[in-house]
Chains A and B, each alone.
Chain A
Amino acid sequence: MENWARFLEVNAPRILELTIDHAILVSLALAVALLIGIPLGIYLTTNQYLADTVLQIASITLTIPSIALFGVMIPIFSLVNQGIGFVPAFVALVLYAQLPIIRNTYTGIKNVNPEMRDAAIGMGMKTRQRLLRVEIPNALPVIMAGVRTAVVMNIGIAVIAAYIGAGGLGVLITQGISRNDNYLIISGSIAVAILAIIADSILLFIQKRYTKKVVAD
């Protein structure tokens, strides 16, 4: 315990800093993934043929281990001199994050009660109005579930990204391994777990709050 106190006294600022870096990396990747994934998921609901193709690609891509994806990306990005560092990590995180988002946006909207959709069409809503007022609000819980999956997954993957110089909490763990320092490993892991739990809880809170409002309306 005493050792822990001493360790934290020295390292707390650094842990905090790395946690913030970690959160920023994941949040930026999430923001981009949302910008791509949600419109794409919505578009897919209007093009069944493309949807089949994209969802198949998504399910295969999700099976690719993250360390292997990094291994493939480094040579490709080194073509533009960005082989190691923020760029390949960021691109990989965006790629992984948008898969559950696309998938859940698509299934969420597809599963909106067809009668509700018919009613909206019957009222003379245009496609855009129908999407914004009926389909997306009703698909929101499913879409949010996809976002939560993406975030928790990405927080874990970003740890491994430390090996390609992306920074974040993975740095504590990789340093702990090379220096054989359990304090670093444990504090890094706990920080990652806490970050994941907090992120998930915040998203869950947003989801519940927003869904209730929709239902109450």
Chain B
Amino acid sequence: MNRKKLIGNIVRYALYAVVAAFFIWAISNSYFDYIFSQSGTFLVLLRQHIVLVLVSSLLAILIAVPAGILITRPKFKRAEWIVSNIANLGQTIPSLAVLALMISFLGIGFQTAVFALFIYSILPIFRNTVAGIDSIDKNMIDAAKGMGMKPHQILFRIELPNSAYSILAGIRTAVVLNIGTAALAYVVGAGGLGVWIFTGINLFDNGFLISGAIPVTLLAIVADFILRRVEYAVVPKGSRRIEKA
């Protein structure tokens, strides 16, 4: 028993050591210096990155959640299969290609990137919304109908609270993916922290690489952490356990 714990601890602390070593190495080689020496540019890129992600994610939520709700209504049930398959197919198209293709329609610029990120974020949110609503026990809906709840009452009091876990998980996946994809917005000339990463690749400049890549990574990890907290706060206590089981 103790040996197992020892192995676990060795792995854990070895990892901490590797991460610490990386930062010591990077700092001692002044790879983070651009963040401070060009702090003006850095803040602009960071802001661009965050705005790209926020705007496109919000738009995607506004479209994908209602679309997921709509497609699970009895009227549209028949279309669900087709739409879900198209959504699955769409997910196999590389994010870089979505960005690149948008150039030919919308030209270069911020709007192009927002639109591409928006399109790419719709799919995980839509899929999780549909999956969450579909996974609700049909008997529960039947009971709700039988006691005289109107369709909108069933939606807001039963279906949405009980699929909140799945919907929010979809939003989290989408946002985290989006932060990574936004780092590619450089190719459509929309700025973001990807600018430094690509500059680093093109110039073989480790400083630009690290000063761009580490903030993007932290952004993704922090967003993931915050959204997990939001999930925990928003999902009703009673349905939380069921989703995990």
Interface residues, chain A, with chain B CB atoms under 8 Å away: 46-50, 52-54, 57, 60, 63-72, 74-76, 78, 83-84, 152, 155-156, 159-160, 163-164, 170, 173-174, 176-177, 180, 182, 185-186, 188-189, 192-193, 196-197, 200
Bound CA–CA A35/B235 (angstroms): 38
Partner of A192, one of B22, B97, B221: B97
Seed contacts A47-B4, A69-B217, A177-B103; 14 additional CB < 8 Å A-B pairs: A49-B9, A50-B8, A65-B181, A65-B183, A65-B220, A68-B180, A72-B213, A83-B204, A152-B91, A159-B96, A159-B97, A163-B201, A173-B97, A182-B104
Bound CA–CA A170/B89 (angstroms): 19
Partner of A170, one of B11, B96, B104, B197: B96
Q: How many residues of B contact A (CB 8 A)?
A: 47
Chain B 4-29 near chain A by CB (<8 Å), digits 1 or 0: 11011101100100000010001000
- Total A-B Cβ pairs within 8 A: 143
Bound CA–CA A50/B2 (angstroms): 12
**Most A CB atoms within 10 A — which of B96, B206, B213, B224?**
B96
Q: Are B221 and A63 in contact, CB atoms less than 8 angstroms apart?
A: yes
Partner of B96, one of A53, A63, A160: A160
Q: Are A53 and B12 in contact, CB atoms less than 8 angstroms apart?
A: yes
Chain B 99-119 near chain A by CB (<8 Å), digits 1 or 0: 011011000000000000000
**Most B CB atoms within 10 A — which of A54, A65, A156, A159?**
A65
Q: Are A63 and B101 in contact, CB atoms less than 8 angstroms apart?
A: no
Q: Are A47 and B217 in contact, CB atoms less than 8 angstroms apart?
A: no
B130 on interface, CB distance cutoff 8 Å: no
Q: Are A53 and B8 in contact, CB atoms less than 8 angstroms apart?
A: yes
**Would you list 10 pairs from A and B whose C-beta atoms are within 8 A, ordered by A residue?**
A53-B8, A53-B15, A65-B220, A68-B213, A72-B210, A152-B92, A159-B94, A160-B96, A170-B94, A186-B97
